[in-house]
């Protein structure tokens, strides 16, 4: 009888590493933005105590987890969902879809529209988190790129945007 | 034509349409190896004699296991469980849902319980929880609007725990949908108008939404063409069988379009208005559709202009410059609402301040617009809308829709 070797799909280590890095960075940036930006804080305040969500890539990750702690502060909770109670799971169907999202060739809205994103959890919470992601993307990205990532670029004052951007970058990179 | 880089489309429902389509039900169930279906319906449908028409069409060839006619206007978990028990007691092996959205949702809920032998329906909520085909389900819609006869979603409410459970699965699609003109002949003019505008909204939002694709475009355009030619006509003359059948086809086509391309801000605001003020869904759609077009036009001008062809016909389309087409589309929808208002003796509402509740009081008090705008922020249909909306944007649209005035283009943030 012939022997057939099981064929594993390509692991695409560089793309996976890039997405993992972006998720880590965006996760920490959300934590920082919840301290700095009133709209992000208000979105999280409107979610239930202890609310936790994950954003990851199917089937094996990478994943980032962000949630509210006992004091209601928003915390980046790493990449491992093991042992964490996650209220909302947002999953990109595959790595290529995640690359499109995180190289900002496709907005979160377009990813949803093209069936690339699966949302498992309460829809109002998912709406709030998509709004948070949009705001964070505007802070993290230059206007030219952010305009591709969000439906409508907000008309914030230049000074406020730069001040908050510096604080969010500081929080994401150095944990300030 | 706009071709997305990637899309998904599915509609696995067999459609049987005609003036005598009901007579095919026994054959369909036989093909599915079912011999003893349970009919699920509501008191209104049964009272209008529609179940008798179905029974008359099938009784010689089929044994009906049970007729459950007590589905409430809002689907309810307890009713689903009770009717699932009845299904088992009567040794049924298929379901025939005769009614509107709530009846379809209830039948789908029963189907999950009896097929999965579920003691807790909640285990199957969300997307992808169902892993195998369910019992045969035949849908017989009695309105021409919701499109639920071709959709893969069911919503069941747990009124005790104040939970709304949504179930999404291709296995929830009915095996067959029967579009028979006899089922809508007795529909009152105002309900005909509102449900027809619901179908138009499904098609229009699917056509200009972010998730549009060539297949949903095809069904949306066909639906719009049928609705444009028949909705006002059938509202004026409810016994027009050809127009009734055309509208039943249009609603199914629009259902195929929106269940694959989703809907946008008209539904976002419509769901919120229904939830806060209890306004029927079709009424909200009719009032809000022109505003969805106005609000999004700067992003979808060219696509919206194409709608003039199925709405106005080839001569009107060819005689209108590209720049004027979207204006004509918006004017056409507003004129349709006016014509339906006239044809229904003033019962079809054109703006929110003229919507009345059952006691004749205003159903949408102006001060409730704030609550509606807040509620809209949590509705997932907004993902698929071309332009973004925040609380202030929702409120601006609601104020205009309440008053019945066009949106001021200068107030739309781009």
Q: Rounded to an integer, what distance in angstroms lies between the CA atom of residue A133 and that of residue B86?
A: 48
Q: Which of B127, B380, B386 sits opposite A118 (nearest CB)?
A: B127
Question: Does A145 touch chain B if contact means CB atoms closer than 8 Å?
Answer: no
Give the pLDDT of residue A10. Answer: 67
B67 bridge partner residues:
B39
Hey, are the CB atoms on A128 and B209 less than 8 Å from each other? no
DSSP symbol at B389: -
DSSP assignment string, B73-106: SS-BHHHHHHHHHHHHHTT--EEEEEESHHHHHH
Hey, are the CB atoms on A150 and B388 less than 8 Å from each other? yes
CA A9, distance to chain mean position in Å, is: 25
CA distance A1 to chain B (A): 34
- Residues B81 and B217 reside in one and the same domain: no
Residue where a domain stops, chosen among B167, B183, B199: B183
Give the pLDDT of residue B361. Answer: 94
Structural domain span for residue B38: 14-183
Asked if residue B4 belongs to a domain, the reply is: no
Q: Which of A118, A124, A152 sits opposite B378 (nearest CB)?
A: A124
Q: What is the CATH number of the domain that holds B165?
A: 3.40.50.1970
Q: How confident is the model at residue B66 (pLDDT cuts 50, 70, 90)?
A: very high
Q: What is the pLDDT of residues B366-380, one digit of tens each?
A: 999 999 999 999 888
H-only helix segments in B90-146? 101-116
What value of ipTM does the predicted structure carry? Answer: 0.88
Residue where a domain stops, chosen among B183, B200, B225: B183
Regarding predicted confidence, which is higher, B98 or A111? B98
Which of B298, B380, B385, B412 to mutate against chain A (most A CBs within 10 Å)? B380
Q: Are B158 and B116 in contact (CB under 8 A)?
A: no
- Residues B113 and B158 reside in one and the same domain: yes
Give the pLDDT of residue A60. Answer: 83
Residue B166 has pLDDT above 70, yes or no: yes
Give the pLDDT of residue A1. Answer: 61
Of A114-128, A139-153, B36-50, B258-272, least confident by mean pLDDT is: A114-128
CA distance B69 to chain A (A): 32
Q: Are B178 and B233 in contact (CB under 8 A)?
A: no
Q: What is the CATH number of the domain that holds B272?
A: 1.20.1090.10
A53 bridge partner residues:
A66, A88
Structural domain span for residue A150: 13-174
Q: How many domains does chain A have?
A: 1
- Residues B64 and B166 reside in one and the same domain: yes
Q: What is the pLDDT of residues A92-131, one digit of tens each?
A: 999 999 999 998 888 888 888 888 888 888 888 999 999 9
Give the pLDDT of residue A121. Answer: 83
Binding-face residues of A in 65-124 toward B, CB within 8 A: 109-110, 112-116, 118-120, 123-124
pTM for this structure?
0.93
Q: How many domains does chain B have?
A: 2
Give the pLDDT of residue B282. Answer: 95
Q: How confident is the model at residue A9 (pLDDT cuts 50, 70, 90)?
A: low
- Residues B160 and B227 reside in one and the same domain: no
SS3 A146: helix
Residue A136 has pLDDT above 90, yes or no: yes
- Residues B253 and B390 reside in one and the same domain: yes
Contacts of B4 (CB under 8 A, 6+ apart): A114, B212, B213
């Amino acid at each position: 009888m012939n022997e057939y070797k099981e064929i594993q799909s390509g692991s695409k280590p560089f793309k996976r590493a890039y997405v993992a890095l972006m998720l880590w960075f965006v996760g920490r940036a959300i934590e920082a933005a919840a301290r700095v930006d009133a709209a992000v804080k208000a979105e999280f305040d409107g979610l239930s105590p202890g609310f936790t969500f994950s954003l990851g890539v199917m089937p094996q990750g990478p994943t980032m987890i962000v949630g509210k702690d006992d004091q209601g502060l928003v915390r980046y909770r790493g990449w491992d969902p093991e042992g964490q109670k996650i209220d909302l799971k947002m999953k990109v169907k595959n790595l290529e879809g995640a690359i499109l999202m995180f190289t900002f060739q496709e907005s979160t809205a377009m990813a949803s529209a093209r069936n690339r994103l699966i949302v498992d959890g309460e829809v109002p919470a998912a709406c709030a988190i998509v709004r948070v992601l949009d705001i964070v993307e505007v802070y993290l990205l230059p206007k030219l790129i952010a305009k591709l990532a969000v439906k409508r670029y907000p008309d914030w004052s230049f000074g406020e945007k730069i001040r908050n951007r510096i604080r969010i970058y500081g929080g994401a990179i150095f944990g300030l | 034509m706009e071709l997305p880089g990637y899309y998904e489309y599915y509609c696995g429902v067999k459609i049987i349409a005609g003036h005598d389509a009901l007579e095919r039900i026994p054959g369909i169930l036989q093909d599915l190896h079912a011999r003893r279906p349970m009919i699920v319906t509501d008191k209104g449908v049964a009272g209008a004699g529609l179940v008798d028409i179905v029974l008359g069409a099938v009784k010689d060839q089929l044994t009906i296991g049970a007729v459950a006619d007590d589905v409430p206007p809002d689907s309810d978990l307890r009713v689903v469980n009770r009717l699932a028990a009845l299904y088992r007691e009567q040794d049924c092996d298929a379901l025939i849902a005769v009614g509107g959205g709530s009846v379809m949702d209830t039948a789908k809920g029963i189907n999950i319980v009896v097929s999965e032998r579920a003691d807790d329906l909640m285990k199957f909520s969300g997307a992808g929880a169902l892993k195998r085909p369910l019992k045969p389900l035949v849908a017989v819609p009695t309105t021409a609007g919701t499109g639920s006869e071709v959709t893969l979603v069911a919503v069941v409410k747990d009124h005790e725990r104040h939970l709304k459970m949504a179930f999404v699965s291709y296995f929830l699609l009915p095996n067959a949908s029967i579009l028979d003109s006899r089922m809508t002949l007795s529909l009152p003019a105002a309900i005909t108008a509102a449900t027809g505008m619901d179908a138009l909204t499904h098609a229009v939002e699917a056509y200009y939404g972010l998730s549009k694709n060539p297949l949903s475009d095809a069904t949306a355009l066909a639906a719009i063409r049928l609705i444009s030619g028949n909705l006002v006509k059938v509202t004026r003359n409810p016994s027009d069988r050809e127009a009734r059948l055309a509208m039943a086809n249009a609603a199914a086509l629009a259902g195929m379009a929106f269940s694959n391309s989703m809907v946008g801000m008209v539904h976002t605001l419509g769901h919120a208005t229904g939830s806060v003020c209890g306004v029927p869904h079709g009424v909200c759609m009719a009032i809000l559709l022109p505003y969805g077009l106005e609000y999004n036009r700067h992003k979808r001008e060219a696509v919206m202009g194409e709608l003039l062809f199925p709405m106005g016909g080839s001569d009107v389309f060819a005689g209108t410059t590209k720049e004027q087409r979207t204006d004509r589309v918006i004017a056409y929808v507003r004129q349709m609402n006016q014509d339906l208002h006239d044809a229904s003796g003033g019962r079809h509402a054109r703006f929110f301040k003229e919507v009345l509740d059952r006691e004749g009081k205003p159903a949408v008090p102006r001060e409730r617009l704030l609550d509606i705008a807040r509620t809209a922020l949590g509705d997932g249909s907004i993902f698929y809308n071309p332009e973004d909306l925040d609380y202030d944007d929702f409120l601006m649209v609601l104020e205009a829709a309440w008053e019945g005035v066009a949106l001021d283009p200068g107030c739309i943030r781009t």
